[in-house]
Amino acid sequence: MAAGWGVKVSISVKEICSNGPVIPVIEIDDEANALPLVEALMAGGINVVEITLRTPQALPAIKAVSQIKGLHVGAGTLLSADDVKKAKAAGATFGVSPGSTAELIEACEGEALPFLPGAATPSEVANLKSHGFEIQKFFPAEAAGGRPMLKAIAGPLQEITFCPTGGVSPENANDYLALPNVICVGGSWIASRKLIKDQAWDIIEANAKAASALA
C-alpha cells in the first residue's frame, strides 16, 4: 500500500510512546530505502520510527518520509544543538538521545521538538525529572541493569516511565513491557541495518506485525 502524504501535527512524547509497544530504531545507509522501509513498517502496524543520526543518509532519509500522513519520524542519537536544529529542519517530529545535556534540552525547547532523553542511573533520572521529563529512554537497557534496575528505581522514582532501549529483543521485550514503569521499548531488531540494506521489506513487515502484537 502506498503511503499518503499530509500536513504534520505536533505530538507529545507521551503520545509517541503510547502509540505502540515498540519503537523501531533505524540505521539507514541509503535515503532511497526510507520510503519502502516506512511502508513496510506501517503495513505491519507501526507508525512511529526513530532514525538515528549515525549515517550520512539519516537526515535525507528523515526528510524523505517526514510528510507521510500518519507517520511520526523521530531523529535519534541527538548529541548537540546542531543535531537538533538539523533534525527539526529535516522534518523530525521528535528527538531521542542516548543521554542528556543542558545543551540538548535547551535546543529541543528552542526548536519546540518533543524530546525523549536517555538516562541510565538514578541521578540521571532524577536530574531529568527536575527538568520536567517524566518519560525517559532507559539506555543502554540490558547493560545498565535491565529489568532488575527498572524494578529497583520504580520505588523512589515512581513518577517516571521509561522506554528501555539497547539489548531489547523479541525474547525479552514482553518482560520489559510487563513492568509498570515501562511505557514502550525501542529496538533495532524490527528493521536492522542489514535487513534494510537487503531490502527485506517482507521480513521487516512481519517483524513489525509481531512487534505491534506485543502486550
Please list every residue from 8 through 47 that binds ligand 3PG, using CB under 6 A: 25
Task: Give the one residue of 168, 191, 195, 204 binding ligand 3PG; rule: CB under 6 A.
Answer: 168
- The answer to whether the beta carbons of residues 60 and 31 sit under 8 Å apart is yes
Please list every residue from 125 through 164 that binds ligand 3PG, using CB under 6 A: 139
- The answer to whether the beta carbons of residues 118 and 143 sit under 8 Å apart is no
Among this protein's residues, is 137 annotated catalytic?
yes
Of the two residues 88 and 137, which places its CB atom closer to ligand 3PG in the complex?
A: 137
Contact window for ligand 3PG (CB under 6 A) among 3-11, 15-23, 170-178, 181-189:
181-189
188: CB partners within 8 A, 6+ apart: 24, 25, 26, 27
Of the two residues 64 and 173, which places its CB atom closer to ligand 3PG in the complex?
A: 173
Which segments within 36-88 are labelled E, that is strand? 48-52, 72-76
Catalytic residue, from 50, 103, 159, 209: name it: 50
Task: Give the one residue of 91, 145, 167, 170 binding ligand 3PG; rule: CB under 6 A.
Answer: 167
Number of Cβ atoms within 10 Å of the Cβ of 186: 26
Integer Cα distance of 105 and 80 in angstroms: 10
